[in-house]
Amino acid sequence: MEGIVFPEEREVIRIKVKKCEGLMQPEYRKFAVDPQITSYEVLRHTLRRAFHLQSDFTISYLSHDSEGQEVWLSLLSDWDLDAAFISSSHPYLRLRVDARPFEDALDDWDIISSKDTPEPVPHPVVPNAPNNRQKPSTQPLRRSLFSSVQTTLTRMTQVLSFNDTKEEEDEKPMKPALSDTEFHSFLDEAGRLIRPEDLRLRIYHGGVDPALRKVVWRHLLNVYPAGMGGKERMDYMKRKANEYLKLKAKFLAQDTEEAQFVKNMVKKDVLRTDRTLDFFAVPDEHPNITALSNILTTFALTHPDVSYCQGMSDFASPLLVTMRDEAQAYVCFCALMNRIKPNFMLDGEAMTHKFQHLTELMHCVAPEFTEYLYKQQAEDLFFCYRWMLLELKREFAYYDALRMLEVMWSSLPPSPPQKDLELIDNVAIMANLSIPRYPYNEADRRQKGRRSSSSSNQSISPKSREHRVPNRKSRRRTSSNSDKEDGNHNSMVDGRGSRLPSKDAEPKPTNRTTQQITHGGSSSTHNNGKSALVPNGPKAAIPNGELPSPARSPMVFKKQLNGLSMSSLPPPDKFGYGNPFMLFLCLTILLQHQDIIMREQMDYNDIAMHFDKHVRKHNVNKVLNKARTLFAEYLKAQLQKSASSNGSGPNQC
């Protein structure tokens, strides 16, 4: 299997570490790491656990200058770690950890005086300074000192409380990330995953330790068939990796006009995907860039029914960064695309359902905000197109987005392949689907989507269409420009007019079981003998037997939403096209910006540009915690509705 990150193939690198902390005796540790999966963050985490570090610390590694003299160089990023692995690890890599004692950390604090702290906020008592509130001098010295110290501590606590307690709690993770010890508690002696639903519930509340993502993500993405032991999974991944290498060699060697078209489209997007990240901040010919291109091109040529579309690189990127192996990343990408493929289909059915459901959810939770959006002709929420197409991957800083994604994946029930994960769509290839039938450029898909969906707008009066369509064109121009500044795919900011199915589109049936989660708790509710968070149903129910068009008159659209409540929303296996928690993430972000949007009287263009300015800037803990609370309320309402329905007879819903 070819390497990606390291030009020299080495399975293990031995490390010797010396920890220095002030005048204390140095401590030493020895361990070995796999350079293919060890990132800078993983190394820091390992060192923190090895030395039980509670405060901040710096890392440096021993190297040699041009004259051969030993010199300690700072280790601050993945780039530095790669350099250390390559140039300074023979026969072992020597690291030095400099821990900062608590007293040194206080040097970073500003001294707050009475002039800096306005009344009525209290300030710390300065020793030997006059104090009008001092006790009389006749008070016993011990009691006076105790009182003064207690008052000082109280005032210091008040001064250093920069945020409200509730706000601080909102910014904390609900639980610590899943550790290696915890993960093994979900496995039996042979390494078989015996409690997949409980594992997902644990990850839902706290995420995954970055050092474990390479292993745990494969379970979340449903890579393995059920019941595999540890050795079986290793053999399975080796077999799948070899299968990928054969597919890549066969299909990338194609020199047809269709294959060249795909390669050009993929290359164009890969060269602007996450290039600010250390892993991709490399020359265009770097193996990391080539690996991402190989994954996307191979998938497109082996899956002609969906082929390639802008946005897929955003999903492949975190898989490659986490797996640090091209073949394994491709296997995970195929597993992920089994679920999200409808996002990129030309019929637009999945995206249309998601917009409809998000609008209904908004009306349930924030009717006043929804009313404001009606007045601004933004009730269809198409400025959220990028959010739902990419499942909010770009709305958080990169590594925060990884945690958001794993929490979202864990909210879905296990859905392992029955026998084997397919890496190629043989049915589509045997059907001889022609790749040019499916445009890869998002703008081209929209143009084709507008033609195919024109029948869905026939119920709208010509006067209504004349009033709304020109306004939408101006919206697209404004939004796309702001996304260009982000250095990514500018056509995905606003999906208006793209991929809308016909009015007569019928939902496909699903046989997923509904599974729930309790409010703020760690227990799951059982249904039909199974347990998980929510089902991964692929299709959504159509209210009133028809698929509403986002271009419908605002008053008609508003009337349809009146009377909606959490219990009247579609069930979890259909809500959000089988990914309901994503809708609550979108809802949370909207609610966080509700006040400023309404206060500034933003119209559609203003709202789109406002959210473009907040790309990768949202607080992941705040969003996840609030989304979990809202999601729990929805699930509770759905449970009550299900119980009521079961008790009232089979014909009621």
Q: Per-residue pLDDT tens for 495-551?
A: 333 333 333 444 443 333 333 333 333 333 333 333 344 433 333 332 333 333 333
Asked if residue 94 is part of any domain, the answer here is: yes
Is beta strand 57-64 parallel, antiparallel or unpaired with respect to 70-74?
A: antiparallel
Asked if residue 354 is part of any domain, the answer here is: no
- Whether the CA torsion 561, 563, 568, 569 is positive or negative: it is positive
In CATH, what number is assigned to the domain containing residue 37? 3.10.20.90
Q: Which residue has the higher pLDDT, 70 or 457?
A: 70
Asked if residue 17 is part of any domain, the answer here is: yes
Asked if residue 35 is part of any domain, the answer here is: yes
Asked if residue 65 is part of any domain, the answer here is: yes
Q: Per-residue pLDDT tens for 396-454?
A: 999 999 999 999 999 999 999 998 999 999 888 887 655 544 444 444 444 444 333 33
Q: Per-residue pLDDT tens for 160-170?
A: 444 445 555 56
* pLDDT over threshold 80, residue 600: yes
Q: Per-residue pLDDT tens for 113-136?
A: 444 444 444 444 344 444 444 444
Q: What pLDDT was estimated at residue 9?
A: 54
Q: Residue 208 — pLDDT band, cuts 50, 70, 90?
A: very high
Residues 6 or more apart whose CB falls under 8 angstroms from that of 597 comprise 369, 372, 606, 607, 610
Q: Are 195 and 226 in contact (CB under 8 A)?
A: no
Between helix 312-323 and helix 257-270 the angle, nearest 10°, is 70
* pLDDT over threshold 80, residue 13: yes
Structure tokens at 301: 């040529």
Mean pLDDT within 289-294: 98
- To the question of pTM greater than 0.85 for the whole model, the response is no
* pLDDT over threshold 50, residue 392: yes
Q: Residue 12 — pLDDT band, cuts 50, 70, 90?
A: confident
Q: What pLDDT was estimated at residue 153?
A: 45
Asked if residue 539 is part of any domain, the answer here is: no
Ranges 96-110, 296-310, 478-492: which has the least confidence: 478-492
CA 382 to centroid of chain Cα atoms: 20
Amino acid at 627: A
Ranges 12-16, 227-231, 254-258: which has the least confidence: 12-16
* 192 phi/psi in degrees, rounded to 5: -80, 140
Q: What pLDDT was estimated at residue 438?
A: 44
Ranges 103-107, 146-150, 164-168, 332-336: which has the least confidence: 103-107
Q: Which residue has the higher pLDDT, 103 or 27?
A: 27
Please state whether the peptide bond connecting residue 287 to the residue before it is cis, i.e. omega within 30 degrees of 0.
Answer: no
Asked if residue 88 is part of any domain, the answer here is: yes
Ranges 70-74, 180-184, 330-334, 363-367: which has the least confidence: 70-74
Q: Are 449 and 550 in contact (CB under 8 A)?
A: no
Angle (CA) 145-148-152 rounded to 5° is 140
Percent of the chain scored above 90 by pLDDT? 51
State the total domains in the chain: 1
CA distance 98 to 392: 37
Q: Per-residue pLDDT tens for 455-477?
A: 333 332 323 323 333 343 344 33
* Strand ranges inside 75-151, DSSP E: 93-99
Buried/exposed code over 189-205 (b: 16+ C-beta within 10 A; e: otherwise): eeebbeebbbbbbbbbb
Range of the domain at 63: 13-99
DSSP bridge partners of 95:
17, 61
